[in-house]
Structure 1
Amino acid sequence: MSDIGDIVDPLALENQVCFALAVASRSVIGLYRPVLEPMGLTHPQYLVMLALWQHAPLSVKDLSRLLQLEPATLSPLLKRLEAAGLIERRRSSDDERSLAVMLTPKGRDLRKQAEKVPATIVERLGMDLAELQTLHHALTRVIAAAGDAHLAVPR
């Protein structure tokens, strides 16, 4: 493994992991926009729907944890999805403080249309699926390492 000191200019923009991740994120999310638009979804709303298609019903707290979003960020997304008739939010019968998020029939039906999204994005990226799976694995490791590093930072 090379040392950071081996890099000619460690502050050069093209050497920054954060820059590469930020540009890659904006670029890939940009590919999703025209694919999701006919479904009436933004990319963050699509992520919420993916979580619900896989795990519904979920409490807002569990959904927030799963998506790694603050409840304050998640709440407006849920309000818009509810206004679109894709989800319902109900107080839990077990715990009045807990809000359960569930799919409506319209939200469940949208899944069929969404099944085409991953293949469309892979095609638009023009990258080999194995390469994308390797990238996904590496990014998952980066997310875990950043989370571990965040926890280790004294406050």
Structure 2
Amino acid sequence: MQSSPLSKYGSWFHLAFLVLGYTAAGWILADYNASWIVWLGTIAVALHLSKAGTAAIAVATTWIVLLVGIGALTWSYPKHFPIGGAKAVAWSLILVWIYALLMVLLLAFANRPIQAIGLTKKQGFYCLVILTWTSLLLGWLVYQLIT
């Protein structure tokens, strides 16, 4: 299947947004002071999304709902949110929920852009795993260095 140069550029933009998005996700997890269980679960969900693509959306959204639900029950909000109290908890969790859903969809639909740049399905899987995991780690590292 021949891909046009325009679709190749779009594929690179898709991957760039994936890296930026998961770097921000690593920052967010660090700002919420997420436990190692949350980190491992998020990494496992990213692995499953990288492998299964759109078939893993239900599992990923279930993970997000679980985390946001626990966050609501424990009144979790990030350290660097400008306001405090119930409003901060509600708004931070709503924003994180929307953001996480966008990241799930971005990763779930990454198989086609990966193949458009010429990688096989197996190479694409490894590429997505490396990109997402490295980006999460980079977000955590940048958070540690700046704060």
Shared fold per TM-score greater than 0.5:
no
Structure (1/2) with the larger strand percentage = 1
TM-score (norm 2): 0.33
TM-score (norm 1): 0.32
Structure (1/2) with the larger helix percentage = 2
